[in-house]
Structure 1
C-alpha cells in the first residue's frame, strides 16, 4: 500500500536523503540542474515539514513535497528564485511573515511509479493546505509550473499578479514558465474548489486515515498519517 506521512525534516534524516535523491533524479530527467527548491539547507531546519509518499511495506519513496516556514532566517526558495527578477517578493514574504506567519509549498515531485494516480497533481498540494492548520501560518506561497497552476487554484491559491509579468516568470530556464501564487487564507480557503475544501477539512479533522482515492489510472487505497509530531507552536498566537 502507498502511504503519505508528514514529519519535521530534523526528525528523519534517512527519509530526507531518499526524498532529495528522488527529487534530483526527476529534475535531471527534465533537464533541470539548477533550482532553488533543490537546496539542502532545509534538512537542519526544525521549521521545515516534509510530506513523503512511500510504499509502506518497503519504505521506497515515490514522491513528496516540503512546507518551509519563514521562521529561521532562511529565505524561502521563492525569494531566492525570484529576487533577481522582481525584488518585491522579499517585502511581500516579509509582510506575510509579520502578519500571521507564512511558508512555502515547494520541492514537489513524484516518480513514474505513481504517475497517473493524482498524487503529484492533486494530493500533495491538498496535504500542504491541510497541514497548515497545525502550523503558525496564515498563508502559503508556491511557485508553480504551468501544469501545477491548476493544483494551486483547486486549493484556493491565486496568481500574485503584482509580481513579474502578471505573475509569470521565465524560471528555472529561459524556455520554462513559472507562476507565483499565494494561498492567503489557510483557515477558510474561500477560493478553493468546494469539493477540494471539504477534502482538506476532512484531513484536518482526521489526519490519520485510509481513503480510497481516484486518479486517471483508477482507484487505489492511500494511507494518510499527516499529524506532525514534536511541534511546539502556540497556534493561539495567530488564530
Structure 2
C-alpha cells in the first residue's frame, strides 16, 4: 500500500532529505535540469514549509512528494524567485496569506499511476484548508496544467504572456495558476471537489485511487501535526 502523509519540514529531517534527493535526481536524470527555485534546501528547517510525501508502508522508500510553502517574509515562494525577473507583479500578489504548492514529483516506479499529478495536487488543496491561506499559487508544466484546473486552479493571465513563461529553460513552458478561494473551490471539477471535501472531512483514511494504470490503495495521513503559523519575522 502507498502512504501519503503531511508534516512540518523540521519535524522529519530524514524524510525531507529523501524527498529532496529524489526530486533533484529526477530533474537531473530525466529532464536535464540541475537547478530550479523549488530545489533550494533552505525550507528543510523552516516552520512554514509543509511536506507531502509518498512512501511505502514502512516509510523508508519514497515514491514522490510535493511541498506547500507559506509566504511569511522569510523564505520567498519559489514562484517569486522563478518569474519575478520576468514579471515583478508577482511580488505584489504574494503576501502573508499566500502559499504555493511546489516541487511536485514522482519516481519512475510509480509513473503512470497518477500519483505525481492528481493525488499530490489534490492533497495540496486538501491541506490548504488547514492553513491560513487566502490565495494558493502553483507553477505548472504543460502536462500538469490540466490537473491544476481540475482541482480548482485558474491560469493567472495577469502574469507573463497570459500566464505563461519560459522556465526553467528556454525550451520549457511554465504556466502560473492560482486559487483565490481555497474553501469554496468554485472552479474545480465537481467530482474532484467532492473528493477534496471528503479528504478534508476525514484527513486520515484509506481510499482506492484509479489512475491510467489501474486502481491502487492509498493510506492518507493529511492532518498536519502541531502546526502553528509562524508570523512574519523580517521583510524582504
Task: Determine which of 138, 146, 154 is the counterpart of 2:142.
Answer: 146
Report what 1:44 is aligned to.
45
Structure 1: unaligned runs, 5 residues or longer: 235-239
Over residues 88-133 of structure 1, what are the superposed CA-to-partner deviations in whole Å (9 max), with x where a residue is unaligned? 1111113xx3xxx110000000001111111112010000000111
SS at 1:81's partner residue?
A: helix
Q: Give the distance between the partners of 1:27 and 1:33, measured in 2 at CA.
A: 7
1:175 to 2:171 alignment: yes
Report what 2:157 is aligned to.
161
Report what 2:110 is aligned to.
114
The CA deviation at 1:72 is 4.6
Report what 1:11 is aligned to.
11
Q: CA RMSD in A?
A: 1.2
Number of matched pairs: 229
Report what 2:92 is aligned to.
91
Task: Determine which of 177, 180, 184 is the counterpart of 1:184.
Answer: 180
1:82 to 2:83 alignment: yes
Moved more, 70-79 or 121-130: 70-79
The CA deviation at 1:233 is 4.7
Are the counterparts in 2 of residues 37 and 106 from structure 1 also a CA contact under 8 Å?
Answer: yes
Q: Give the distance between the partners of 2:182 and 2:122, measured in 1 at CA.
A: 12
Q: Give the distance between the partners of 1:92 and 1:121, measured in 2 at CA.
A: 25
Q: Give the distance between the partners of 1:133 and 1:233, measured in 2 at CA.
A: 13
Structure 1 ranges of 4+ moved more than 4 A: none
Q: When the two structures are superposed, what TM-score results if normalisation uses the length of structure 2?
A: 0.95
SS at 1:186's partner residue?
A: coil
The CA deviation at 1:144 is 0.4
